[in-house]
Every structure is written in C-alpha cells, then in structure tokens.
C-alpha cells in the first residue's frame, strides 16, 4: 500500500512502512489541517493551559486526540533521534537542558509533526539539513 501511495513520509530516517502506514492512516487527508498546530491538536500533543486571574501557565499534554497517532509519533521520534543527525542534535540539546526523557521525546514528536505536515502538503521527500 505504501508503494502505491508513494508518500514522502517514508523518506524520513527511522520511519518504516509500518509506522508510516499508521501515521498516514490516522492523519487521513492532510488538507483537512490548515497549519501544523491543528495536526498537533489532532494528535493530542498540545500542552494544556492553566489560567487563574493574572497567572497563565502551561501544563501537561492534553492527550485528547488520536491515541494511535500519538503512539506512532513517539515511536517514530525515538527512531528518528537515532538515525537523523538533525533530530539527534535536537534530542541531545533537550537532554542537555535537563529535561526528562519522555519530555524530550514529546519535543522531538512535536518537531516531527511539523516536518510531516510540510512533507505531506508539498509532496517533497525529506532532506537532511547539514550544519
């Protein structure tokens, strides 16, 4: 099925046909989303906001969206942090900031969602940015 779709998502290092298939099946038509933040909400990966008077803080992820997409994104994030130099640098930067492993994976997942959004909208394959 993935060969017939010719999806650019499998050009991302670490995303196999199986993970790519789950991600594409859960997202459906990418044109249903106008911006990456809408895809983040759909995946249930946006932070909750707490407001009280003048205080405004963000909390944990809301986890209201697709659990299957969220699961696939976490596994893809773990793998892309191994196989992609760009994402590995980002992963190591967040770890160096003292963030917990799961928080680091959520940051990588959010970045990956934005990359996937762009790739699916344009149809272009993933290109590694070399620093």
| Closest among 102, 129, 119 to 39, alpha carbons compared | 119
Task: Tokens 């008077």: give the residue.
Answer: 53
Angstrom distance (rounded) from CA 28 to CA 13: 21
pLDDT of 42 above 70 = yes
- Please tell me the distance from the alpha carbon of residue 80 to that of residue 82, in angstroms, as a whole number: 5
**What residue ranges do the domains of the chain occupy?**
8-46+64-122
Q: Is the pTM of this model over 0.95?
A: no
**pLDDT tens digits for range 90-121:** 999 999 999 999 889 999 999 999 999 999 99
């Amino acid at each position: 099925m993935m060969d017939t779709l010719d999806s650019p998502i499998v050009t991302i290092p670490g995303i196999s046909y199986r993970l790519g298939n789950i991600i594409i099946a859960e997202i459906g038509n990418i044109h249903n989303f106008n911006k990456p933040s809408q895809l983040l909400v759909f995946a249930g990966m946006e932070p909750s906001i707490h407001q009280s008077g003048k205080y405004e803080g963000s909390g944990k992820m809301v986890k209201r969206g697709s659990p299957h997409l969220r699961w696939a994104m976490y596994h893809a994030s773990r793998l892309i942090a191994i196989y992609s130099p760009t994402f590995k640098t980002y992963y190591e930067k967040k770890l160096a900031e003292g963030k917990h492993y799961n928080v680091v994976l959520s940051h990588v997942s959010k970045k990956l969602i934005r990359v996937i959004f762009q790739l699916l909208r344009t149809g272009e394959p993933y290109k590694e940015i070399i620093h």
